[in-house]
Structure 1
């Protein structure tokens, strides 16, 4: 099957799908739940946050406070279970500890029909994020198995598979090797993000079980913006929950992130404030129906 024809969620009538967003909450610097909640809400979803950590500011700042919420998650999910909450999708991102993988696996067991979107937020530029440990990265590999959509950047693909990291200039054959490894680990569909080849283009690739590799090309802007990975995964998830094909969802997310980066560049303190997407949310809402 072609990714252009693959629809993973069929939106029906006026029904509002419920999405658990398992991610951290950051007080300043737009990322994680600060992105997932408004973007998925704009996509007509009922967002149910599961906060994995609380941050005063994101980790690009030299000073930040982090509170790991691992100890509360069992009681948090117990309360959900007692209320009989039903979920249509489980979208996970940044985790505060290796033990939190178990909380996501619990959600999978209790909601076996929910779509599983895993953004393995682990690192960038060939390095793990400062709050991550080798143990947490190893546990993250358990979430690859059964992921309906897995969205690693090239650093995360390297950390998950153990394959060598060769930067962002990869050939299609090298991308296919990453995908084959991740599918072999149990992922159903893989979106490999951020391949660049010095031609002012950024390439994202989609492939999976019985899904041939397809390239989605966007414009590479000459600067970086914090939070774009979270925005890409959240927008992709929102588009999928609106009934768009996987290919169309990846293409929409690619362009949306580019447009948000342009707006961010016009803001004060743009290098650390996080990605500014708020004025573009109407584009996401337009996907509904």
Structure 2
């Protein structure tokens, strides 16, 4: 009689405690399932809506025009932006983490989307490699453009050394920009390493690659709506991983658009940025509107992918 009385006086009952824990665990599991269903429903709704927007004919026909207008008139935003904004700092996180690795981010996200899309649609490996080869073609062409533009800037540029005006110089001449002393024997690498100024015929590689990546993402993601329609006809689910990577690609597109606006508004360079945007447009036009439409090419994103029959 002493032991039960002692347990009751201490408020400890093993059977009741285990029962409460089971009930709490069951409630937590039910809550977790409810939250997962809610998140899945939100993911399905958002991705279906975005797929409809990106897959629409008006989006594909006019996105490059909108991007061209942004590159053309974007530098005018410099008259309205604040010099004290966080985006006016060249060491901002957005520039340091994304600008120098724009093509890498785009290649990883779009390549993952192509891979998961092929797995979801049960495509053969040959078709997967064919569509992935588009990333290799665009990457190779971007590398060639970057090398050619660098060689052009090195060949056409000249090194200048800033000269501090003498203190005895009086008048308005002392308030103007410091004079520059010419160094003809310097190369671009040695000039910049010596903290001097290199001036040449420059084409903005940043605007080029950001514009090209925006156009590429729209082209590659536009097929997701067709995939959803085919999966519905075959009574299959695309799967949460594919929807999630598609959402990440859309977010990456939004980041590239924001980055492009910041470059044009806070760091305007005429005409190098316009030339970079035009070259990016020409690369996209020559590939997706030209060569990829031919038989001897990797093909367009929707080519050979979508049927209404179950694959054998």
When the two structures are superposed, what TM-score results if normalisation uses the length of structure 1? 0.22
When the two structures are superposed, what TM-score results if normalisation uses the length of structure 2? 0.21
Give the structure with the higher percent strand.
1
Work out which of the two has the higher radius of gyration on C-alpha atoms and give 1 or 2. Answer: 2
Structure with more contact order per residue of length (Cα contacts < 8 Å, sep ≥ 6): 2
Give the structure with the higher percent helix.
2
